[in-house]
Structure 1
Amino acid sequence: MARKRNNDEENKSPSWLTTYGDMMSLLLIFFIFLFSFSNIDAQKFKAMVASLQASLGVLEGGRSMSSVPATGGDEGQDLEQRTNEPQDEFESLYEDMQRYIQQNNIAATVEMTENKMEILLRFKDNVLFESGKADIIPSALPVLNNIAGVLKTYKEQIGGVRIEGHTDNVPIHTVMFPSNWELSTARAVTVLRYFVERQHLPPEMLSAVGYGEYHPVATNDTIEGRAKNRRVDIVITRTWIPGEINSNTNP
């Protein structure tokens, strides 16, 4: 019987360990409330968490501080603001472009749309170029200058700017432009070179492509439809995908 009692006593945890566990639990609760009701520096809090994790690690099966959700406090609000910041600035880019279009009454000739990934500026028929030519019309230069200024302001939020040339299906046969491929490409490159050489936009941010008549937005069977297809599109893309930050932070 004496031997059995000795074995039972050896299997019991020391009494000080229970007291130590209670004390650590109280400290954990205290620091959680302290964090909830105060504005604490993020670096100091991380150091405090690391210290507590080292202490609580001796408690077998204990819950680490990193698994406890932090609630309240200005730090959480600041993190949310930083997470949404790129999206807000890209939205500001759209608003600045839209404001310029409205103030200068050019909405009838410059169409603007947006989605989660990009902003589209569509220059309608004969806004930038005369029929069959690839030289920018002087009256269009102020519009391009303003667009370039906005692109410079928000270049950190821009992943790329693609300039697209489009035509209708009416064939062209000139020495300079044997087909609509050459005409649409030349127009896109002309706008790109103007942005780089005159407005000093970073060339690595820009690209140009000519689609000829093969990406229509309307029928080519009517005069109105062909006029809509003769256009130059400037497509501005984001530097990031919405939701990418949150998805990358998940374990």
Structure 2
Amino acid sequence: MKRKKKHEEHVDEAWLLPYADVLTLLLALFIVLFAASEVDSKKFEEISKSFNSELQGGAGVLESQAAIETTKETSPITKIGEDEPEKGSQEEISRLQDQKELGELQKKIESYIKEKGLDPKLQTEMTAKGLVLKIKEGVLYESGSADITKESKTIAVEISGLLVTDPPRDIFIEGHTDNVPTKLDEFPTNWELSSTRAINFMKIILENKKLDPKRFSATGYGEHQPIKSNKTAAGRAENRRVEVLISNYQQ
């Protein structure tokens, strides 16, 4: 009996060593899985190295760099953070390029105005909506008329050539009058007079086949968008005008 009891006290415990190794590997695996769920490349890399060391196999089972790159590619949070600044930068670059091209077009038109001696009858202005060409009274029409004179038709044709851009821009032609009633059967109000003037000018512009009619529109505002006071003759003369808006690409 004594010998049997002594034998039980010295049972072979060698099986505990591989069991402990298995537990260690399982623990390391759970840690790696937890780390993989967190977008923390540095932590993932450190734990991956520790796990590979346990396996004594180097980087054969887990390629930490590949795992990090995959996490980066598939994470919507990472993509949002990267795409938004890039999108904003592209929009800013496009806006600056657009302004540069409009500035070059403005110089071209002003050079034409100077060459033909049309200043101050023709003027340009850069606005938030785009480049505006102002054509004052007397350049295109006689007082109370919406018919473009023969001399003015040449100017309209030359202006049409200045409106050709690549890519094409939207062009808005606007007619404006002073607040003096027309008293004409053909144009009962300034609405009819201003809109007819804008349309007649647009028709001549669109004789240029390099321009796309789908990009054009004509509008009459009558006396309702004055740039000067209608209380003086000089102010009323300023308000009687045709404006050509060469729009921004972003509109």
**Which position in structure 2 is the counterpart of 1:156?**
167
**Which position in structure 1 is the counterpart of 2:151?**
139
State the alpha-carbon separation in 1 of the partners of residues 238 and 27 from structure 2. 85
Give the TM-score normalised by the residue count of structure 1.
0.67
**Which position in structure 2 is the counterpart of 1:122?**
134
Q: Does 1:183 align with 2:199?
A: no
Q: Does 1:232 align with 2:242?
A: yes
1:15-94 alignment runs, 5 A limit: 15=53, 19=59, 56=66, 58-59=67-68, 63=72, 83=94, 85-94=97-106
Partners of 2:102 and 2:131 within 8 A in 1: no
Q: Does 1:14 align with 2:30?
A: no
**Which position in structure 1 is the counterpart of 2:208?**
199
Task: Give SS of 2:202's match.
Answer: helix
Q: Tell me the CA shift for residue 87 of structure 1.
A: 4.1
Q: Tell me the CA shift for residue 24 of structure 1.
A: 7.5
State the alpha-carbon separation in 2 of the partners of residues 113 and 17 from structure 1. 72
Task: Give SS of 1:119's match.
Answer: strand
Q: Paired residue for 1:111, among 115, 120, 123?
A: 123
* Alignment gaps of 5+ in structure 2: 1-15, 29-50, 83-89
Partners of 2:132 and 2:243 within 8 A in 1: yes
* Residues 6 and 180 of structure 1, relative CA distance in 2, 3 Å threshold: closer
Q: Tell me the CA shift for residue 21 of structure 1.
A: 10
State the alpha-carbon separation in 1 of the partners of residues 202 and 107 from structure 2. 23
Name the count of aligned residue pairs. 198
Which residue identity is paired with 2:52? P
**Which position in structure 1 is the counterpart of 2:224?**
214
User: CA offsets, 1:123-173, max 9 Å, x none?
Assistant: 112111000011112222232222211222x05141x11111111111112
Q: Tell me the CA shift for residue 102 of structure 1.
A: 2.2
State the alpha-carbon separation in 1 of the partners of residues 57 and 201 from structure 2. 75
Percent of aligned pairs with the same amino acid: 30
Task: Give SS of 1:156's match.
Answer: coil
Which residue identity is paired with 2:23? N
User: CA offsets, 1:101-122, max 9 Å, x none?
Assistant: 1222212111100134311011
Task: Give SS of 1:193's match.
Answer: helix
* Alignment gaps of 5+ in structure 1: 26-55, 70-78, 242-251
User: CA offsets, 1:177-226, max 9 Å, x none?
Assistant: 11211111110010011112x32332111111111111111111111111
Partners of 1:89 and 1:157 within 8 A in 2: no
State the alpha-carbon separation in 1 of the partners of residues 150 and 58 from structure 2. 84
Cα RMSD (Å): 3.3
Larger radius of gyration: 2
State the alpha-carbon separation in 2 of the partners of residues 221 and 148 from structure 1. 34
Which residue identity is paired with 2:109? M
Q: Tell me the CA shift for residue 11 of structure 1.
A: 3.8
State the alpha-carbon separation in 2 of the partners of residues 138 and 17 from structure 1. 91
